[in-house]
Amino acid sequence: MPDFSTSDIFVAGNGTLWAVCTENNEDDRVNRVWVANKPAGGNWTRKIVADNGVNFPVQPGIVARSDSEIFAFWREPGRPIRYVRSTNAGETWSGLGAVDDIEAAETFAVPALGP
């Protein structure tokens, strides 16, 4: 079982629980971002959504624009805020994206989604 360092959780409008966790293990040089979800009345499932090109992810967050469009984001030292996006309720996830050009080491900004 991975050793998760930081996490975030929320409930979507359809009752699905969504969680994001970061895994950092300097001994094994493992740096990953996991997303888990549990539909109302269902079971938890989880998957790695980012591991290639991720460098010590911390302070993750997870938000939904709709029941199917989900964003997971986190900070990395010296990099912009990073994110991955799903448009099919977590079945697949995009490659890494950057929220803006603000270096993560210099800010505690959290992206906000809205209409």
pLDDT at 112: 58
Q: How many domains does the chain have?
A: 1
Cβ atoms of 57 and 74 closer than 8 Å: yes
Task: Tell me, rounded to whole angstroms, the distance of Cα 67 from its chain centroid.
Answer: 16
Per the rule left: phi > 0, alpha: psi between -120 and 50, beta: everything else, 104 is: alpha
Considering the domain boundaries, does residue 114 fall inside one? Answer: no
Domain of 32, in residue numbers: 4-106
Residue with tokens 């980012």: 50
Cβ atoms of 45 and 30 closer than 8 Å: no
| Residue type at 112 in one-letter notation | A
Considering the domain boundaries, does residue 58 fall inside one? Answer: yes
Considering the domain boundaries, does residue 112 fall inside one? Answer: no
Cβ atoms of 19 and 8 closer than 8 Å: yes
pLDDT at 1: 45
Considering the domain boundaries, does residue 46 fall inside one? Answer: yes
pLDDT at 84: 95
Per-position pLDDT tens, the chain of length 115? 455 567 899 999 899 999 999 888 766 667 889 999 999 999 999 999 998 888 888 889 999 888 899 999 998 888 888 999 999 999 999 999 988 654 444 444 555 555 5
Considering the domain boundaries, does residue 43 fall inside one? Answer: yes
pLDDT at 110: 55
Q: How far apart are CA 61 and CA 70, in angstroms?
A: 11
Q: How far apart are CA 93 and CA 83, in angstroms?
A: 10
Q: How far apart are CA 57 and CA 51, in angstroms?
A: 10
